[in-house]
Amino acid sequence: MRVDPAALAAIAAMGLATYVTRIAGYWLVRRFTLSGRISAGLQAVPGAILIALIAPAAFATGLAESGAAAAALLIAMLRWPMLVAIIASAAAAAGIRAFI
């Protein structure tokens, strides 16, 4: 097996960039006092990123996937356990595929 030095350098650079970005975020948050509005905005970021990743895949692939995403959203809004959401999503996708 031969390792391409350029690929290895690219992987190392991406890892370093990820590490520096994470550490810089922690450093900035500890260094400055955050107002209530900024703090609330930062708390909303993980959910926004999750939606930005899931929504295109859920609604651009087909009816079964959209139904599964809607079932998972409903279960999440009811605050039921994640296992219930997974089972409901799989059941919704299977049910929709069986009827279309």
pLDDT tens for each residue of 21-64: 989 988 887 888 878 888 888 888 888 888 888 888 888 888 88
- Residue 38 domain-assigned (yes or no): no
24 and 4 in one domain? yes
70 and 90 in one domain? yes
Whether pLDDT at 82 is above 90: no
More confident residue, 58 or 12: 12
DSSP summary character for residue 4: -
* Residue recorded with tokens 């069986």: 98
Which residues constitute the domain of residue 72?
A: 43-100
Model pLDDT, residue 9 = 95
22, two tokens: 């994470």
Residues 81, 78: Cα–Cα separation, whole Å:
9
Whether pLDDT at 1 is above 80: no
More confident residue, 28 or 95: 95
Model pLDDT, residue 36 = 84
Model pLDDT, residue 46 = 83
Mapped onto helix, strand or coil, the DSSP state of residue 1 is: coil
Residue 58 contacts residue 68 (beta carbons within 8 Å): yes
